[in-house]
Amino acid sequence: MLLVGHSQGGMITGHLATDPAFRERFNVTNMVTYGAPVDHLDVRGVDVLQMGHALDPVPRTDLEGLGTSHTPTSRHVDLPSPGAWNDVLTNHSHEAYIRSVHDALASDTPLGAELRAYQSSGSMAPFLVGPDGSGRRATAVDVPVQRLPD
């Protein structure tokens, strides 16, 4: 199972990936987060990719794992920020993260190479089904999380 989440959704995926009861029921192999403070979590046995815009303060609210041991399979990627240093909304926007990852994957840069390496890793193979006619299938479940007005 691949868990993906942005911001609070990333925090939820991180806590699910560290929950023994959840892991007993689901075979969590990969976790990808965008703009989520999850450095402090010890997600052993899961191939983790944590992405954050360089100027997004949210993924740093856990003090970047200060005083904890990082999981050996965890990758931390700083993406170029789409907004100015004081534009928190733009730098934390999930739409901006989508554009940043798309642009990085298409670029001939070390960042693009790093993202493509994760994308082509063996642990990601079950989740990426291309138009090659291989007959493989992948399913996805979106779980939107939002605040409701009082």
pTM here is 0.83
Helix, strand, coil % over all residues of the chain, rounded to 5: 35, 15, 45
Average pLDDT over residues 73-79: 82
Strand-by-strand arrangement of the 2-6 sheet: 2-6, 30-34, 47-53, 74-79
Q: Is the pLDDT of residue 16 over 80?
A: yes
Q: Is the pLDDT of residue 134 over 70?
A: no
The chain-wide mean pLDDT, for the chain, equals 85
> What is the per-residue pLDDT for 69?
47
Measure the CA–CA gap between 150 and 24, rounded to whole angstroms: 37
Domain boundaries, the chain: 2-127
C-alpha angle with apex 50: 80 to 132, nearest 5 degrees? 90
Whether 45 and 22 have beta carbons less than 8 Å apart is answered as: no
Which helix (H) or strand (E) covers residue 58, if one does? none
Q: Is the pLDDT of residue 30 over 90?
A: yes
Q: Return the structure tokens found at 89.
A: 């909304």
Whether 31 and 2 have beta carbons less than 8 Å apart is answered as: yes
